[in-house]
Amino acid sequence: MANVRLTDIRKSFAKTQVLHGISLDIASGEFISLLGSSGCGKTTLLRMVAGLESVTAGGIEIDDRDVTSLPPEKRDIAMMFQSYALLPHLSVSENVRFPLRMRGIGSREEQQEKVAAALETVQLGHLSERKPRQLSGGQQQRVALARAIVSQPKVLLLDEPLSNLDARLREDMQVELIEIHQRLGLTTIFVTHDQEEALSLSDRIVLLNAGRVEQQGTPDEIYNQPATSFASNFIGSANLVPVEITDSAQGPVAKLEDGQVLHLDPNEAIRGKATLALRQEDLTLSANGMGLKAKVRTRVFLGARNRYVMSLAGHPLRALTANDLDFANGQEIALAIDPARIRVIAD
């Protein structure tokens, strides 16, 4: 267990700069997610912490020790790869024992005890003599997890480890990751592009966009108080509607590009050009009630819910509704939203 400190990390490949000065303080035992779309630099940042990628400028400290120029093997970290990277010529137990053997941790007997314990943790004790290729994807993934935690590294680095699993297994593994983190308390850096995964697993989320930190905070903060239009769109896929906010007799109102007007929370302070972040699940649709007029474009049946894609003031707008609401394509409908649920972001 150790803290990790990144100071103004920059990275350039050839002439393109992919990380523009990222500073992060990660507390000992914290589970932190680097969240962002592909190409935002999250994996590069993780690989720099691992020592697999050189640092163009800036510093990395692990456990208050400068490791910026140390090779990976001297950093006392463990990394779990998206492709699991199990060694195909070694059995499951040899794979898990590998970091202990290479780091010279304990005697042979102690190593075998630790391997057995780690495999028990991921419930794979009975498969220890198999070769990786004889295991299913989910099992391989658990072996990779056992191998990552067996040496009790100072920092555990997870590079989209769940993205190759099907939905059911992914949920199981999320629970398993949370439990293992609670039990072992390893400082963990988790890279993902899946906002739900980041929200459910992390103590803190760092949202990256184009090589910069867009926003960081607890999952609750990130979800409920997105600071920028990018953050609100990325987390919860909120709809972004450009408006102009002015005062009226009934308090602040937002004027859409087509002239429609939406009443805002009386305490809203922002005026002028702004962006409204409207969450899909906060929108209430009705055939002829009060509210903004929008036109239905498509319905996507999701089982428990429906998703409607509408057109509002020329912009596509998505809403999640109960699955018994039935509107026809092209139908004009009314759109209502609780003013308290509207998030206003100044441009």
Work out whether 85 is an interface residue with other proteins (CB under 8 A): yes
Which of 44-52, 177-185, 280-288, 294-302 is the region at the interface with other proteins (rule: CB under 8 A)?
Answer: 44-52
Distance CA 175, CA 160 (A): 15
Distance CA 304, CA 301 (A): 8
Distance CA 242, CA 294 (A): 15
Rounded to the nearest whole angstrom, what is the least distance from the CB of residue 105 to other proteins in the complex?
9
> Which of the 8 DSSP states describes residue 126?
G
Work out whether 187 is an interface residue with other proteins (CB under 8 A): no
Q: Which listed residue (151, 187, 232, 275) binds other proteins by CB under 8 A?
A: 151
Nearer to other proteins, 35 or 77 (CB): 77
CA dihedral for 226, 232, 235, 239, sign (positive or negative): positive
**Helix-, strand-, coil-residue percentages of the chain, each rounded to 5:** 30, 35, 35
Q: Which listed residue (32, 77, 241, 264) binds other proteins by CB under 8 A?
A: 77
**Residue 78 · residue 96 · CB < 8 Å:** no
Residue 77's nearest CA partner among 178, 131, 12, 149 is: 149
Count interface residues toward other proteins (CB under 8 A): 23
**Residue 67 · residue 60 · CB < 8 Å:** yes
Work out whether 88 is an interface residue with other proteins (CB under 8 A): yes
Rounded to the nearest whole angstrom, what is the least distance from the CB of residue 79 to other proteins in the complex?
4
Distance CA 192, CA 170 (A): 13
Rounded to the nearest whole angstrom, what is the least distance from the CB of residue 160 to other proteins in the complex?
12
Q: Which listed residue (11, 147, 154, 193) binds other proteins by CB under 8 A?
A: 147
Q: Which listed residue (24, 35, 45, 50) binds other proteins by CB under 8 A?
A: 50
Nearer to other proteins, 99 or 252 (CB): 99
Work out whether 81 is an interface residue with other proteins (CB under 8 A): yes
Name the residues that contact other proteins, by CB under 8 A: 50-52, 71-73, 75, 77-79, 81, 83, 85, 87-89, 98-99, 102-103, 147, 151, 157
